Amino acid sequence: MQLGTRWTSGDEPPAAVPAVLRPQIAAVDRAMPRDDLGQPRPRWTLTFLEGRPIAELDTGVIVEASASGEVVVRHDDEDEFG
């Protein structure tokens, strides 16, 4: 696994984030509940596994490109084979 980069949810993703993931990352960011208590926003982490980009939010939401090139959004407690 190769570590990519980190950024705060709602901020513009760094240039290292592949274009194929950006629309789904933006959709997840828009769906995040608004925090009116001043809590820190969760952060995204970009990594690459076997050359495939994976963006994981601190909340457990994962946006990744499958082996077929399809972009999948899931939560880390979901069975990815199910």
In sequence order, the 6+-apart residues with CB closer than 8 A to the CB of 4 are 16, 17, 45, 46, 47, 48, 53
**Number of domains making up the chain:** 1
Residue type, 76: D
Q: SS3 string of 59-82? A: CCEEEEECCCCCEEEEECCCCCCC
What's the pLDDT tens digit per position in 24-78?
999 999 998 877 777 788 999 999 988 899 999 999 999 999 888 899 999 987 6
Domain that holds residue 12: 2-30+41-75
Q: Does 81 map to a domain?
A: no
Q: Does 19 map to a domain?
A: yes
Global pTM reads: 0.84
Q: Does 56 map to a domain?
A: yes
- What was the pLDDT predicted at 69? 87
| 3-state DSSP assignment of residue 29 | helix
pLDDT at 2 > cutoff 60: no
Q: Does 35 map to a domain?
A: no
Q: Does 50 map to a domain?
A: yes
Only one residue has tokens 């601190």, namely: 58
